[in-house]
Amino acid sequence: MRPVIPYVTAALLFGIGVYGVLRRRNAVLLLMSVELMLNAVNLILVTADTTVRAALPHTGQVFALFVIVIAAAEVGVGLAIVLQLYRLRASVAVDEVPLERIDA
């Protein structure tokens, strides 16, 4: 098994995720791009687990499972925020979100 193949796949996936986060305006598509980046990190962890001899075996796989759980929590909270944004603004375009608070 050549470890360089999954490593390069993960690097390209991470780059695509970064591109998506910077390029997309729709908040739901933004969350999808974040998922791509998290998956790239997971692939790096699993590949390192199979190719590197570690003191504790299977640590990379355990970390990958933890990252999956954290990603599930992130998606839950993120979607709640996106839906609240839609309810307030009737739009989920992230570059229309005002960042300063205006006192009424």
Partner 1 sequence: MTAADVLLLGLGAVAVGSALLVVTTKHLVRAGLYLVVCLGAMAGLYLVLTAELVAWVQVLIYVGAVVVLLLFAVMLTRAPIGASDDLDRPGWPAVLVGGGAGLGLAALLVDAFRWTTVDLPEAGTAERLGSDIFGSWVLPFEVLSVLLLAALVGAIVISRPDIGADRRDAWPGADRRDPGAGADRRDAGAGAGADRRGAGADR
Q: Hey, which residues between 50 and 89 contact partner 1 (CB under 8 A)?
A: 50-51, 56-59, 61-62, 64-66, 68-77, 79-84, 86-89
Residue 93 interacts with partner 1 (CB under 8 A): yes or no: yes
Residue 14 interacts with partner 1 (CB under 8 A): yes or no: yes
Binding footprint of partner 1, residue count (CB under 8 A): 76
Neighbours of 43 (CB within 10 A): 18
Shortest CB 68 distance to partner 1, Å: 5
Residues in the chain: 104
Residue 23 interacts with partner 1 (CB under 8 A): yes or no: yes
Residue 99 interacts with partner 1 (CB under 8 A): yes or no: no
DSSP track, 37-97: HHHHHHHHHHHHHHHS--SSTTHHHHHHHHHHHHHHHHHHHHHHHHHHHHHHHS--BGGG-
Residue 16 interacts with partner 1 (CB under 8 A): yes or no: yes
